[in-house]
Chain A
Amino acid sequence: MLLGLASVTAAAQTVRTGLSPDISDTGTSLYPKPIPNNSILDFGVPALSRVGGTGLSSNTLNGAAPYGSPIEDTRIYFHGVLNQFEGRVGNGSYLRWDSEVWAGDDYNRIWLKSEGRYNSDNKGKVSDGDQEALYDRPISRYFDVQAGIRYDLDSGPGRTWAALGIEGLALDFWKVQATVYASDNGHYALRTNANYDLYVTQKLVLQPQIETNWYSKQDRGRGVGAGLSDIDMGLRLRYEFTRKFAPYVGVAYQRFFGGTEGLTHEQGGRVNDLRFVFGIRLWY
């Protein structure tokens, strides 16, 4: 029932006599006072004055959260995502990975990204090795900006790049990413990536994915020419046993272009490579 009824005056008497110093120390208050039913609250009555005690009340009027915070909306989250961990079989099979780890709150995050391929048939050489450390900050409802460094670490000569990119959700939930890179010796590069999750059933997901790489200048040491160097695309069908554990099968197609195509030829690689893949997608 609403705010007490007829007997409320009597109740209020009990209330006043029953108050101990620590509970009357509640700051200025209209409470406790009789609130008769069907009548106007008497706001003209001087409010109860404060008395000494625990000091709780004086603090509760000061500051947003005098004793800390009632919630943790700046909590730190951590996730590790292994997007691709797959064998690409065919003539000269290899293992490819593409992963990222992030930690941070809603606005400030550190990302570590790693991708590369391990060529079991080619003396265990690691190629396409690409590691990035980035600071990530949301800039709009769907996009984040990322800035940091990239280091090409594999069996080839290392290269260091400054990286600046955006990553986010484009129309219709396409996850897209575009990053420009500048190396210490005046080379520029661009990488784009896009993928989409098409739910065939609640657990079966078809994911088209496409990555492109572009370079401003030739770098013979790393086997890249100027212009569009390669496209790597895939179509993967995964089964989400849980959201965090999903094996998949699919096809991947890689194609080299321009100067890169020539260099790949020289080094005896294939410029046009369609493969069957099987792998696993994991996240924590």
Chain B
Amino acid sequence: MSKSGDILTIDRRRFVQGLAGLGASAAVGLRSAPALAVTGPAEPSSLRGNRFKLSLDRITVNKTGLPSWANAINGSVPGPILHWKEGDVVTLDVTNNLPVTTGVHWHGIILPNPMDGVPGLEFPGIQPGETFTYRFPVIQSGTYWYHSHMGYQEQKGAYGVLIIEPAGEPMIRADRDYPIVLSDWMDGDPLVVANNVKQNPDYYNYRRRTLGTFISDAKQSGLSATINERLSWGEMRMDPSGLAEPTGALYTYLINGAPPAANWTALFKLGERVRLRFINASAITYYDIRIPGLTMEVVHVHGNDVRPVQVDELRIGVAETYDVIVEPKENRAYTIFAQDYERSGYARGTLAPRAGMVAAIPDMDPRPMRSMADMGMHMMPKEVGASKPDGTRIGGIMGMMAKTVPTAERVGEQPMHPNTPDNPAISVEVQSNAKMVSDRLGLPGDGLNLLNRRVLTLAELRSIHPGVDPRPPGREILLHLTGNMNRFIWGFDGKKYSEVGPIDVKLGERFRLRFINDTMMSHPIHLHGMWMELENGGGEHRPYLHTINVKPAEDVSLLVTPLATGQWPLHCHVLYHFEAGMFRTLRVLPA
């Protein structure tokens, strides 16, 4: 941990880094066939076939140096890696040994509504002691995951990898194949966390602006500019340093269930093509993933093959999956480094020719701050805050950016346009409207805009195959992402889930889903049971997504064709946001 500020005492370091030796056994790839990372007592098992038995149990785990309870699936956190085959009908008997109701959701899977696993909405849930049988045909392939969709169970370990082999020949060839699940582990009870942020929305922000940062900003940018800037945030009662809540002050970040100190390792042989399937199973954490020394070729996104894109780094939002191919050219260890978006901690693993090898762990990058552009304020591009690799100015100071960030360095920002359509009224649940919104798909995101690395953007994604439904949308459904950070209330169009009914669409209808983010947080919006095709300038090669990360002040649109009737959740996948109300249902009625 570097630049960690004053919260990281020795104990804290141990907590963030976790236990050494936990699950440290290297994953051993098989020789010929693509091998999957398994084995080792702490590692999840791998299950194949078309009939599965899963059980959720309350067990004790030790991820941080202290024992804590977990919601394990088949006895491990993460749960077992499930392998399905496209074209099969799968049957899953899920036994609930937890003291509370549960429901397992198959994230990104197209299936009948009652099989989707959302208690309360799609089925009654699986009661304690009960077994529920899921049964449905598998009509897709690729990298997915599954997780409990009840309360805060997912935060305490109820998630696992789902890999579906294609019915025909796979498009992607690799010699080794490793799923890499990223998650944010916490000891203790997530309900206490929810309660804490309700009382104090900055509870876990230990990087807030202080008298010290005021003085350093004033030295750098001048006193009056600094005062003006502080006043404009103060007027909004917002803190640009609050990017995510909770942060690494609470979390230990895991790769395949292993904390950084345990150094989960994947093996390769020189010259091999290694497929890494990154899955973000975190409750709230976004990660920026890189493997210093290696170029990652992004080949498969959200379960769908995409035209390969070569990158140095990629940001993975909550609930997203990205598969990359790497080809190590040297016989040495490489660090798989996934720093959280807040730069308050990281998950770490190693890619190496032999078990036990390590490579240097890079320093975390400067921490981004929100800018006035994120607030949807009308600004000249040069005034937009952004982070600099040297850390001298990490965003946030309006008007001062011209000195430190030449316009030419800024990439991909599209012209802004006024946010007029149906702005939700300022209210208890709507803290702000973004006055100017823009297409920000070409930006990699805060903190990554100005680093000297190739970072994946959503604008670059192209599906391999043209979309299956070429019809133009018949109508547009616009949703504003809204919230009040101080009250920790989140919703759409200024309403919590419990205050409004479902949005009705028809089976087979072609419509456009448009999101405008009025908050200063990024929200990964997930739609169950159907695909969202991102309108990113790719013509008919729009990428098919199950989750769309919507940046602050972003205006993004997607095309959707509902494939089955029922009430399908549409929600932010940040657990604490959706439990606080950022949840809707899309009711698909018979045509």
B6/A10 in contact, CB under 8 A: no
The A interface is mostly helix, strand or loop, or mixed, namely loop
Interface mask (A213-241 → B, CB under 8 Å = 1, otherwise 0): 00000000000000000000000000000
Q: Which residue of B lies closest to A31 (CB)?
A: B564
Question: In the bound complex, what is the Cα–Cα distance between A202 and B7 (angstroms)?
Answer: 8
Chain A residues within an 8 Å CB radius of B470: 40
- The residues in A between 95 and 153 inclusive whose CB is less than 8 angstroms from any CB of B are 106-107, 138-142
A199 with B167: in contact, given A8-B139, A61-B565 (CB under 8 Å)?
A: no
Chain A residues within an 8 Å CB radius of B138: 11
Closest chain A CB from B235 CB (angstroms): 6
Q: Which residue of B lies closest to A244 (CB)?
A: B196
A141/B6 in contact, CB under 8 A: no
Question: In the bound complex, what is the Cα–Cα distance between A4 and B142 (angstroms)?
Answer: 10
Report which of B122, B209, B428 forms a contact with A138, defined as CB distance below 8 A.
Answer: B428
Chain A residues within an 8 Å CB radius of B590: 27-28, 47
Q: Which residue of A lies closest to B432 (CB)?
A: A141
Chain A residues within an 8 Å CB radius of B452: none
A1/B139 in contact, CB under 8 A: no
Chain A residues within an 8 Å CB radius of B139: 3-4, 8, 11-12, 15, 31-32, 35
Report which of B141, B211, B497, B578 forms a contact with A199, defined as CB distance below 8 A.
Answer: B211
A41 with B583: in contact, given A7-B87, A8-B87, A77-B198 (CB under 8 Å)?
A: no
Question: In the bound complex, what is the Cα–Cα distance between A90 and B544 (angstroms)?
Answer: 72
Chain B residues within an 8 Å CB radius of A2: 140, 304-305, 463-465, 468, 544
A56/B114 in contact, CB under 8 A: yes
A72 within 8 A of B: yes
Chain A residues within an 8 Å CB radius of B121: 60, 65-67, 69-70
A23 with B115: in contact, given A30-B563, A60-B122, A202-B6 (CB under 8 Å)?
A: yes
A202/B208 in contact, CB under 8 A: yes
Binds B, one of A168-176, A253-261, A265-273: A168-176
Closest chain B CB from A246 CB (angstroms): 12
A186 within 8 A of B: no
A64 with B501: in contact, given A15-B139, A20-B135 (CB under 8 Å)?
A: yes
A91 within 8 A of B: no
Question: In the bound complex, what is the Cα–Cα distance between A1 and B465 (angstroms)?
Answer: 9
Chain A residues within an 8 Å CB radius of B142: 1
Question: In the bound complex, what is the Cα–Cα distance between A142 and B195 (angstroms)?
Answer: 19
A65 with B120: in contact, given A31-B111, A201-B6 (CB under 8 Å)?
A: yes
Chain A residues within an 8 Å CB radius of B5: 202
A172/B235 in contact, CB under 8 A: yes
Question: In the bound complex, what is the Cα–Cα distance between A43 and B489 (angstroms)?
Answer: 40
B119/A26 in contact, CB under 8 A: no
A23/B166 in contact, CB under 8 A: no
Closest chain A CB from B412 CB (angstroms): 26
Chain A residues within an 8 Å CB radius of B308: none
Interfacial residues, chain B to chain A (CB-CB below 8 A): 5-7, 86-89, 110-115, 118-125, 135-142, 149, 151, 166-168, 171, 194-196, 198-200, 203, 206-212, 230-231, 234-235, 237, 303-305, 426-431, 463-466, 468-471, 484, 486-487, 489, 496-498, 501-502, 507-508, 531, 544, 561, 563-567, 569, 578-581, 583, 585, 587, 589-591
Apart from A15-B137, A243-B196, list 4 A-B contacts with CB within 8 A. A10-B167, A12-B139, A30-B564, A57-B566
